[in-house]
Amino acid sequence: MSIDYSEKIPNNVDLASDRRLQRALESWQPNFLSWWKTMGPAVPTQDVYLRTAVDVGKEGWAQFGHVAMEEYRWGVFLAERGDDRRIAFGEQKGEPVWQQVPGEYRADLQRLIVIQGDTEPASVEQQRRLGETAPSLYDLRNLFQVNVEEGRHLWAMVYLLHAYFGRNGREEAEALLQRNSGDLDSPRILGAFNEETPDWLSFFMFTYFTDRDGKYQLGTLKESAFDPLSRTCEFMLKEEAHHMFVGTTGIDRVVTRTCELMREHDTADIAPHGGVPLDVIQKYVNFHYSVSLDLFGSERSTNAANYFTAGLKGRWQEERRKDDHQLTEGALSIASVRDGRIASDEVSALLALNLDLRNEYVKDCENGLTRWNRVIERAGLDTRLSLPHVGFNRQVGLFSEHHVTPSGGVVGPDAWKAEEDCWLPSAADKAHVQSLMRPVYEPGKIAGWIAPPTTGINGKPFEYEYVHLS
Amino acid sequence: MSVTADAVRQVEEERLPSATSPAVTFDTAPERYRHWRLAVDGEVATLTLDIDEAGGLVPGYALKMNSYDLGVDIELYDASQRLRFEYPEVRAIVVTSGKDRMFCAGANIRMLAQSTHPWKVNFCKFTNETRNGIEDATENSGQTWIAAVNGTAAGGGYELALACEQILLIDDNSSAVSLPEVPLLGVLPGTGGLTRVIDKRRVRKDRADVFATKPEGIRGKQAVEWKLVDEAIPKRVWAETIAERAAEVAAASTRARTAQGTTQGIALTPLSPTMSADSIAYRYVTATFDRPAGLVNVTVRGPETDAPESLDAIHEAGDTFWTLAMTRELDDLVLRLRANELELGTWLIRTEGDSARVLGYEALLAAHRDDWLVNEIDLYLKRVLKRLDVTSRSLITLIEPGSCFAGVLLELAFASDRQYMLDGTVEEGQTPATIVLTESNLAGYPMSNGIGRVESRFYGDADHLAWLVRESGRAIPAAEALELGLVTDAPDDIDWEDEIRIMLEERASLSPDALTGMEANHRFVGPETMESRIFSRLTAWQNWIFVRPNASGEAGALRRYGTGRKAEFDRKRV
């Protein structure tokens, strides 16, 4: 198959004259398309009003128009940078960044890229059937936008594998399409990406909490001494921001509608009235926040320390930090369970990099809560949403051996079991949310459990026909 | 990756000391020997060890009591080579001492005590190879070595005798043979001693145990009874008995006596390579050093002309005959790199030339196997390939357009830890590389485990070996070579440069010690021989003991020897 590279695959990596990339893509691209057709969005569409990045500049990164999804132009973009970038941290701090993969770090870099790359198509797979219950065409369009962008992020990682990791890289790129979310024989690498996204509330929670983890991971890779990875991630972060927006405003709109129903019916129990009660929203927050915290890995990590020292993975906003950027000294306070209580320990800063990143993430997550609570407050209601304790419902790290309540109490297995349904979505909660999931495909109409957005996409009104179904 | 500025600085700093002490050279000749005298009388040559105390290779020790260092052994190696090539008429070699009542006291202890670990290891490796070469001469060249032990032979002195086919000990009630390393020095008789006593001389293990812990050693009749020596000869009949034994082995020698005119030896003239700080260049072999990357680019060039047609032409060409010249150069290069370039941990091996010509030379040699010179060239090549097998460097072969990895030169690839073959070409006008398997690969040059490199590669897989026999004799392109399992990988032109770069950088980042151990394990599969045991067991244990405080610590036995103070041992058995 021959491809008109510059037209089909918008890029700023000189694809048209790179034989290695062309050759790699020739076999990969058809496989990607067939993956997209079998594992991508299940709802058949004619076209969707999508944003396509055709360049990294202001003009190019967001071109809107109706496109047939399988003709979406997944591009390859690296953020533009000056020539004189220097390594900002680790043992080789101050030296020029690498334009090639140093053999010494091939295995580690490849692993980091593969893990990042594996999450991108995973979420497409997890969200595959969501379109069937979209609350509006606007939301359906946002889902597809997120999906195509996750696809593009896969392309970005595959580009790195193809361009810099030789035959090995090509094989890993192939494997990214062969592993599938939830597949018993060949699952996605990270457990959290093997769960189906069952409903739209989960989708908004996922894009708020789990994609935000992705944002922070990309932020650390953006600092990498391996310049192509750094530049790739910088551009991806731009798109990731949209996913976060979908999550933030999605939960905004659910909370808004919930408050309306609570006022209208003067009760917190709005389930019979077709809404999602605030306590159910809180349980969804509890669940998605806690499983997303697991994605940061163990609080104490020698791997993360090695990556930092080697210059592969920095800290969030590394260059803005005011320390030696080598972490030969310094410590971080780390919470864990001691004698049945939450206690605090000191860990050397170098070993606590996962914790450092998680702390940044937690601060960021708080913003959403503040925002949603403002909605509740404006509605004159007293209830408030909150983030549970970091030790709550954890499967990874120091808390994984313990049962910690949302407020930070340490309880035994029996107490946990007795209260679990008050803290995490119960079967009944899930069934209720599921019962609300009825598709609304009529332009300008929206499902009853969610408020319409305050603005549309790219200046278009909410009523705009964002998706033409087939 | 660009290697960091720091790494480069470190390399430069660490080179400073060696810049002040001259690099080791292996170039010598009998007229320049300081420690040996070579006398040839008809079929019998006598090598007399008479070490110049002040002739140490490195300052800091005196070579007392006929004790040796690397410099002494370089001369011994040179002599053993010249006897093979320059003296085809010699059929017996008598090694004896020029000192009174002291045959040889072994390796100089002060030298060992002051040497770095790598120096000791390299010294032992070279001396082991030389002794293996002596046994090879006895077994395959019809030059039988006899040790005329006319005084005490201690440690390395006795090990030198052990390498000879016969050990004749003077029976003067004072001269003994001994292996005092364990009781006196806290190390092993590591130049084959422990192995040859039980393996070659078939000394019972309990007796070997007694012998190797008895510092004064064993004399006369008991030494004979324990099979440590072949004969104990009274002083008054010493000279005539030695002459008699030499005459006997000469008469029994299988060394080919060829037609008149070809019994003339050939001269091994100085190699005189062109040296610079970062290269060594011979006529057919070139090495350039990439210090930041820690590697040596070794290029072996094939013959410049077609092989001559006659045996006479080989003799006429002498040491300029391609196969011999290339082998000598490679030998010298391996020895220099091992001794002088410790931080160049990867050798990247390439060839350049015309495969058909390489095969032409091989065919010519194959047609004249019964000629003594042809035999010697073949044996020499075998020994040099074995040197590669025990070289503690990562050996990587790159098979590219313009190369001539055919037959004997393809052995370089099989001696390597990995082989990469470019599938296609990177520049216009090139012809893709091919390789040719021949008898040289399938039945030619045994490793120390007694079997060839291809057989070792596919050990136990008779079907695969039979398949390779069917595919021998023709040019095999990259994709097929990969399928036949003859190369590790065959990247195409698009991948080639990056695959090789990443592979080399990755390797350079690994622990040099772990690599040495890993490679030494992977290179030898299947059967063991006495020779392989010397390298795999004796040497490995010795190298471990060398780094232990009980030997080389401040209060260790090796360091305390001769100071009047007792060694202090950490008594824990490990």
A347 half-sphere exposure, CB direction, 13 A CA radius? 21
User: Quick check: is B528 in a domain?
Assistant: no
Based on the domain organization, do B144 and B199 belong to the same domain?
yes
Is the predicted pLDDT of residue A25 greater than 50, yes or no?
yes
Based on the domain organization, do B284 and B217 belong to the same domain?
no
Average pLDDT of the segment spanning A170-197:
86
- Check residue B7 and give its pLDDT: 35
Based on the domain organization, do B228 and B297 belong to the same domain?
no
The one-letter amino acid code at A75 reads G
Residue B147 belongs to a domain with what CATH number? 3.90.226.10
Based on the domain organization, do B183 and B329 belong to the same domain?
no
Whether A167 sits inside 8 A of B491 (CB atoms) is yes
> What confidence tier does B8 reach under pLDDT thresholds 50, 70, 90?
very low
* Domain span at B45: 27-252
Is the predicted pLDDT of residue A232 greater than 70, yes or no?
yes
Based on the domain organization, do B222 and B294 belong to the same domain?
no
Is the predicted pLDDT of residue B490 greater than 60, yes or no?
yes
In chain B, which residues touch A (CB < 8 A)? 1-2, 4-5, 489, 491, 494-495, 498-499, 501-509
Based on the domain organization, do B245 and B280 belong to the same domain?
no
Based on the domain organization, do B232 and B118 belong to the same domain?
yes
Average pLDDT of the segment spanning B45-53:
97
Average pLDDT of the segment spanning B44-58:
96
Angle between helix axes B355-366 and B372-389 (nearest 10 degrees) is 130
- Check residue A68 and give its pLDDT: 93
Contacts of B502 in chain A (CB under 8 A): 101, 103, 106, 165-166
Nearest CA in chain A to B490: A167
Please state, rounded to an integer, the average pLDDT across all residues of chain B. 93
Cβ(B541)–Cβ(B211) under 8 Å?
no
Mutation for A interface: B421, B488, B494, most A CBs within 10 A: B494
Based on the domain organization, do B299 and B202 belong to the same domain?
no
DSSP state of A121: H
Average pLDDT of the segment spanning A164-170:
91
Q: Which of A20, A105, A107 sits opposite B494 (nearest CB)?
A: A20
Contacts of A102 in chain B (CB under 8 A): 1, 505, 509
Based on the domain organization, do B283 and B171 belong to the same domain?
no
Domains of chain A in sequence order: 5-469 (1.10.620.20)
In chain A, which residues touch B (CB < 8 A)? 19-20, 23, 92, 95-96, 98, 100-107, 164-167
Whether A106 sits inside 8 A of B4 (CB atoms) is no
Is the predicted pLDDT of residue B16 greater than 50, yes or no?
no
> What confidence tier does B258 reach under pLDDT thresholds 50, 70, 90?
low
B454: closest CA of chain A, how far (Å): 27
Q: Are strands B274-276 and B279-281 parallel, antiparallel or unpaired?
A: antiparallel
- Check residue A127 and give its pLDDT: 94
Contacts of A167 in chain B (CB under 8 A): 489, 491, 495, 499
- Check residue B446 and give its pLDDT: 96
Whether A23 sits inside 8 A of B494 (CB atoms) is yes
Q: Which residue(s) pair with B477 in the sheet?
A: B434
Based on the domain organization, do B365 and B494 belong to the same domain?
yes
Please state, rounded to an integer, the average pLDDT across all residues of chain A. 93
Whether A167 sits inside 8 A of B499 (CB atoms) is yes
User: Quick check: is B309 in a domain?
Assistant: yes
Using one digit for the tens of pLDDT, what is the confidence trace for B307-354?
Answer: 999 999 999 999 999 999 999 999 999 999 999 999 999 999 999 999
User: Quick check: is B265 in a domain?
Assistant: no
User: Quick check: is B217 in a domain?
Assistant: yes
Q: Select from B218, B252, B286 the last residue of a domain.
A: B252
Is the predicted pLDDT of residue B13 greater than 50, yes or no?
no
Based on the domain organization, do B413 and B501 belong to the same domain?
yes
Cβ(B334)–Cβ(B411) under 8 Å?
no
- Check residue A209 and give its pLDDT: 96
Higher pLDDT, B255 or B492: B492
Beta strands in B122-269, from DSSP E residues, in sequence order: 144-149, 151-154, 166-171, 176-178, 218-219, 231-234
User: Quick check: is B138 in a domain?
Assistant: yes
- Check residue B261 and give its pLDDT: 46
Based on the domain organization, do B179 and B34 belong to the same domain?
yes
* Lowest-pLDDT choice from A195-199, A259-263, B3-7, B472-476: B3-7
Is the predicted pLDDT of residue B260 greater than 80, yes or no?
no
Residue located via tokens 């790195």: A160
Average pLDDT of the segment spanning B242-246:
97
- Check residue B257 and give its pLDDT: 64
Domain count, chain B: 2
Q: Which residue(s) pair with A47 in the sheet?
A: A468
ipTM of this model? Answer: 0.81
Residues in chain B: 574
Cβ(A348)–Cβ(A330) under 8 Å?
yes
Using one digit for the tens of pLDDT, what is the confidence trace for A361-387?
Answer: 999 999 999 999 999 999 999 999 999
User: Taking chain A, what is the end-to-end CA distance rounded to the nearest angstrom?
Assistant: 28
Average pLDDT of the segment spanning A99-117:
94
- Using DSSP, state whether B152 is helix, strand or coil: strand
Among candidates A107, A371, A135, which has minimal Cα distance to A248?
Answer: A371
Contacts of B4 in chain A (CB under 8 A): 92, 95
Q: Which of B489, B491, B509 sits opposite A103 (nearest CB)?
A: B509
Whether A103 sits inside 8 A of B504 (CB atoms) is yes
- Check residue B1 and give its pLDDT: 33
User: Quick check: is B560 in a domain?
Assistant: no
Show the tokens assigned to B384: 């040099």
User: Quick check: is B59 in a domain?
Assistant: yes
Average pLDDT of the segment spanning B262-270:
86
- Using DSSP, state whether B291 is helix, strand or coil: coil
Using one digit for the tens of pLDDT, what is the confidence trace for B136-167?
Answer: 999 999 999 999 999 999 999 999 999 999 99
Cβ(B263)–Cβ(B89) under 8 Å?
yes
Is the predicted pLDDT of residue B428 greater than 90, yes or no?
no
| pLDDT > 90 fraction of chain B, expressed in percent and rounded | 90
Q: How far apart are CA A45 and CA A134, in angstroms?
A: 13
> What confidence tier does A61 reach under pLDDT thresholds 50, 70, 90?
confident
User: Quick check: is B340 in a domain?
Assistant: yes
* Lowest-pLDDT choice from B5-19, B53-67, B493-507: B5-19
- Check residue A3 and give its pLDDT: 59
Contacts of A103 in chain B (CB under 8 A): 1, 501-509
Q: How far apart are CA A243 and CA A205, in angstroms?
A: 11
| pLDDT > 70 fraction of chain B, expressed in percent and rounded | 95
